[in-house]
Structure 1
């Protein structure tokens, strides 16, 4: 958007601020600036006589409107879910606690980066769990650009090689969806925490590995974790605005 005077100059100033607040994940403030900037931009479009410039303003207005809707969704989600600590108790042998049900409500168009801190993404079933979590993110977070996995190495050198190869395969697959996977190994990781850059923090006692082994590979619950029995664990969900 080119510089100008009057409503156009004011729109540029306000929308520049909106984008900055958006980047800083200050959704409520960003939404207010987007709405003000869009009003100014519409006013500028009415006053300009050049049709090419008017069409440019209309196109930019549509782009900012789409982003404002994403901000509104994020703000409403925070209000709906509550800004206070939410706790989910998963009982032993209970079902209906898929990644979709736990993480799905926290994923929106503002989510672009995820950090998974889990010491035990080593064995085959744990790596498959991580893969399914990645699939959910790719499916629902349309602006997702990066996932960082922080975990420990398998103490057996041969098994660590297999662990790393499998995780790199997931990374190669994610890259085809324009998502970068970074893997960080550390022997000092003990916490199990998942951080979304839209502000949500999820702590699960057992990390991603809270599902029990299915009865067989041909039983309901093998591929759809909604039907999979769970180990007893606790899920704590916070928003950064409540933990600062």
Structure 2
């Protein structure tokens, strides 16, 4: 999360989180920095509440005011970029990095207005890729979005896994139906781009698609169930906001 990478020496959580917020802000990674500012401000408010010394309280209030002002400015900037259809943020996931479950990557872009999702990924063919897609669907069903329709565009497995691909996707489709969600699956022999679109205007492109996690070392290793603990392959996540997502 926000304190990732702050391992040089122990620091109070509020200090570490706000320091990370400033670093992300300076690197123009505004969406991430906003989340860290909000977390850091909340932690600092708790410190303020527990402080008795009036001088320290005044210092904390001043700091909180400064951070809130910057967070509000970033929020307005992001909103303006969204309105203009110009928003673009890039997140680089490093080799063996952890903390990048689907919830962490997508949570900032999912809200109650999301009812329809488009997934374009040419490689939903093997068992672990079906599980990746299933986990992604589970995240959508859990909310806070109100997803009713998921569109999957992938490539057809022409090899020995042909029937496995058909059966696995059909099973996911029937399971989603129990939750009131329709899964539409279509195939393309020419698909090569990987992107995910939500009908609230957010578009996320991941270099490796949903398949950016490394194979766990064993079935009883940390990270086998919790993807936040699963090491990742190096990849890049590009986030855009458009006024209208294409519905194809």
Q: Would the TM-score normalized by the shorter structure come out above 0.5?
A: yes
In structure 2, the CA distance between the partners of 1:93 and 1:164, relative to structure 1 (3 Å rule), is same
Pairwise CA distance, 1:161: 1.1
SS of structure 2 residue aligned to 1:87: strand
Aligned to 1:143: 146
Q: 1:101 aligns with which of 101, 104, 121?
A: 104
CA distance in 1, matches of 2:79, 2:99: 21
Q: Does 1:162 align with 2:164?
A: yes
- The alignment covers a number of residue pairs equal to 168
Aligned to 1:119: 122
Q: Does structure 2 conserve the Cα–Cα contact (< 8 Å) formed by 1:115 and 1:147? A: yes
Q: Deviations over 1:129-188 (max 9, x none)?
A: 0000000000014421000100001121x4111111001100100000000001001101
Q: Give TM-score scaled by structure 2 length.
A: 0.64
CA distance in 2, matches of 1:149, 1:192: 11
Q: Does structure 1 conserve the Cα–Cα contact (< 8 Å) formed by 2:110 and 2:145? A: no
Q: Does structure 2 conserve the Cα–Cα contact (< 8 Å) formed by 1:90 and 1:231? A: yes
Structure having the higher Rg:
1
Q: 1:211 aligns with which of 185, 210, 213?
A: 213
SS of structure 1 residue aligned to 2:224: coil
Aligned to 2:24: none
SS of structure 1 residue aligned to 2:161: helix
SS of structure 2 residue aligned to 1:182: strand
Aligned to 1:134: 137
Structure 1: runs of 5 or more not aligned: 1-75
In structure 2, the CA distance between the partners of 1:78 and 1:214, relative to structure 1 (3 Å rule), is farther
Matches within 5 A, 1:43-54: none
Pairwise CA distance, 1:241: 3.5
Aligned to 2:202: 200
Q: Does structure 1 conserve the Cα–Cα contact (< 8 Å) formed by 2:112 and 2:144? A: yes
Q: Deviations over 1:65-86 (max 9, x none)?
A: xxxxxxxxxxx79947963211
In structure 2, the CA distance between the partners of 1:243 and 1:178, relative to structure 1 (3 Å rule), is closer
CA distance in 2, matches of 1:131, 1:95: 20
Q: Does structure 2 conserve the Cα–Cα contact (< 8 Å) formed by 1:112 and 1:141? A: no
Q: Does structure 2 conserve the Cα–Cα contact (< 8 Å) formed by 1:90 and 1:230? A: yes
In structure 2, the CA distance between the partners of 1:228 and 1:137, relative to structure 1 (3 Å rule), is same
Q: Does structure 1 conserve the Cα–Cα contact (< 8 Å) formed by 2:207 and 2:237? A: yes
Matches within 5 A, 1:219-234: 219-234=221-236
Structure 2: runs of 5 or more not aligned: 1-74
CA distance in 1, matches of 2:112, 2:147: 8
